[in-house]
Structure 1
Amino acid sequence: MRVKKEAVVGGYVHIEIAGQMHRVYYETAGAGQPLLCLHTAGSDSRQYRELLNSEALTANHQVICFDMPYHGKSSPPAGWEKHEYRLTSDLYLQTILSFMDAMEIHNPIALGCSIGGRVVLHLALKHPERFKALIGLQSGAHVNPYYELDWLHRPDVNGGEVCAGIVSGLIGPNADSQDRWETLWHYMQGGPGIFKGDLHFYKSEGDLRGMVQKIDTGKCPLHLLTGEYDYSCTPEDSQDLARLIPGSHLEIMPGIGHFPMSEAPHAFMNHLLPVLQRIQSEQHK
């Protein structure tokens, strides 16, 4: 019998966010510089499984991932059934900072993908002093609508399958079949209306056009990594963003789509590790 035990440790922390108590699930591995990983809309921290298990990464970094409330193993708060879930910029920022405070995470590098890639821009604008550096995966100031949100929460449609169907085209063509389907499986398991509620932030309320120019990379370095095959946040979107933020660093990742850390984890590590090394070297200048 073949057995492999991972060094990943999981747990729960109880946090007050926007006046409500939440039971938030997290996983962590490694030691050293904290690397806080933020998952995409409608999914959860399982997307970062390979990062948590990367010896090259965890040798010098404490990788920390958590499920946003309503996602993964983090249940909704009491009374959730009486309200429509809608993620806003303020709620998103409160959630991240409250988790950091509760877990006593100081001066982390924050890495976020998709909505996580958008929220790192909000963090750069409003709370740069809390972070050593910020890394945006698939980061753009806004996104052009390319599907109708109402399909994501209808009684006559299987919510999990339609969510996975919508994002399936965002995965790069070179993704391994197992990685592709694991990425989609996470979407198939999302709670009803949660993907739609996250996209309220991504597609409308969290729009940063006209504001990203105010980001000061002298206060907190900003690195952008964008997959070549992404029509949600295209390489051109990230290039436009980088031009607007002096001092930001952008790299386009060949062959990769919207979910670098889960669809192509090994190829992604070849891009991430040099960025982390650069952050470390810049810190000592």
Structure 2
Amino acid sequence: MQAASVSGIGREGQVGLFGLWRWLGPLSLVVALSCSAFTLATDSPLFSRYAWQLDLPPEPAMPLPARQGFATVGDFKMAYAIYGAGSPVLLIHGGLGNAEQWAAVVGPLAAHHQVIVADTRGHGRSERGSAPMTYDQLADDYLGLLDSLHLSKVALVGWSDGGIIGLDIAMHHPERLQSLVTYGANSRADALVKPVINPVMVEIGQRSEEDFIADGAGPAAWQRLTHDVQRMWDTEPSWTSADLARIRTRTLIADGQYEEFIDPDDTRSMAAAIPGARLELLPDTGHFAPLQTPAAFSRMVLAFLDQGDDPAGP
């Protein structure tokens, strides 16, 4: 495996986690064997139909960044990297993940925009700091990063927890957002559902702790992070339709056709509550589209962002 860059963004062939340890915990041999028995040959017609459950491609190496480093944000140092040129787009990864999970998406987006990625507080190579792990705090952290980069306004694309952070910013600091895309986000803690375990989840669950430790932290830091994130998931977010209706940012609420973790009613309710929001479901994929179907994900994001850049657009 390739060593990560200074910012922790660029590891090849590894995959992080979006909260599967909430349900999986340490995986038993029985689960592994059961999922192995479920695996189908890649040339089977059924493989194409169920590829989202079976196939998790390795991440490509991140492109060469135009700039990377650590920004001092409040009580911690935040790892970041910048790619491409043009109107700025901030990508925010999911819980227990890291910015390298955007590896297959950065290139297509950076061909048209300046793309900023970072490791969330306590994740990847960003320091943990002492502040509590809440979505409000994480939103403030990313605003602090934008301040340090002298970016007054960005388009924001958030995946899973990253989408929740984007919604938080849209509610409380709409002046900082040009547009917002969320993928696999939820508006209420009780909208999380227990998934049916499949081989992709097993693979991600098995790699997650190793990836975190490979980013320079130890088992104790992983335990603290999972505890803090778990506590956040148990109670947050807790937004009402009235809260979401305050959002005036141009918004796309997106998810996969086979989303594993979020009640689809919550996804539809979010799109209905946010004035003018669009709803889009990517076919033949679930929660992990930026890893499994990055080309389709990138096309969806670019179509939305570029339409917003068009004066004739909505």
TM-score (norm 2): 0.69
Instruction: Find the partner of 1:195 among 226, 230, 233.
Output: 226
CA 6–216 in structure 1, closer or farther in 2 if over 3 Å, else same: closer
Compute the RMSD of aligned alpha carbons.
Answer: 2.9
Q: Counterpart of 2:207?
A: 185
Q: Counterpart of 1:252?
A: 281
Question: What is the identity, as a one-letter code, of the residue corresponding to 2:114?
Answer: Q
Question: What is the identity, as a one-letter code, of the residue corresponding to 1:197?
Answer: D
- More deviation, 205-214/92-101: 205-214
Q: In the aligned structure 2, how far is the partner of 1:143 from the partner of 1:231? A: 15
Q: Counterpart of 1:269?
A: 298
1:279 and 2:308 correspond:
yes
Q: In the aligned structure 1, how far is the partner of 2:263 from the partner of 2:174? A: 25
1:13 and 2:75 correspond:
no
Question: What is the identity, as a one-letter code, of the residue corresponding to 1:65?
Answer: V
Question: What is the identity, as a one-letter code, of the residue corresponding to 1:206?
Answer: P
1:27 and 2:81 correspond:
yes
Give the 3-state SS of the residue equivalent to 1:87 in structure 2. Answer: coil
Instruction: Find the partner of 2:272 among 243, 248, 267.
Output: 243
Give the 3-state SS of the residue equivalent to 1:202 in structure 2. Answer: helix
Equivalent pair of 1:42/1:71 in contact (CA under 8 Å):
yes
Q: Counterpart of 2:39?
A: none
Equivalent pair of 1:115/1:202 in contact (CA under 8 Å):
no
Question: What is the identity, as a one-letter code, of the residue corresponding to 1:189?
Answer: D
Q: Counterpart of 1:127?
A: 173
Instruction: Find the partner of 2:128 among 71, 76, 82.
Output: 76
Q: In the aligned structure 1, how far is the partner of 2:170 from the partner of 2:209? A: 28
Q: In the aligned structure 2, how far is the partner of 1:167 from the partner of 1:75? A: 33
Instruction: Find the partner of 2:239 among 208, 212, 220.
Output: 208
Instruction: Find the partner of 1:227 among 256, 263, 272.
Output: 256
Deviation at 1:182, TM superposition (A): 7.1
Give the 3-state SS of the residue equivalent to 2:223 in structure 1. Answer: coil
Deviation at 1:185, TM superposition (A): 3.2
Give the 3-state SS of the residue equivalent to 1:23 in structure 2. Answer: strand
Q: In the aligned structure 2, how far is the partner of 1:75 from the partner of 1:168? A: 31
Q: What residue ranges of structure 1 are gaps of 5+ in the alignment? A: 148-165, 173-179
Equivalent pair of 1:141/1:212 in contact (CA under 8 Å):
no
CA 236–53 in structure 1, closer or farther in 2 if over 3 Å, else same: same
1:139 and 2:191 correspond:
no
1:102 and 2:154 correspond:
no
Post-superposition Cα deviations, 1:39-63, rounded to whole Å, max 9, x if no partner, equal 1000110111112222xx2222011
Q: What residue ranges of structure 2 are gaps of 5+ in the alignment? A: 1-60, 213-221
Equivalent pair of 1:228/1:257 in contact (CA under 8 Å):
yes
Equivalent pair of 1:117/1:139 in contact (CA under 8 Å):
yes
1:117 and 2:137 correspond:
no
Q: In the aligned structure 1, how far is the partner of 2:67 from the partner of 2:243? A: 35
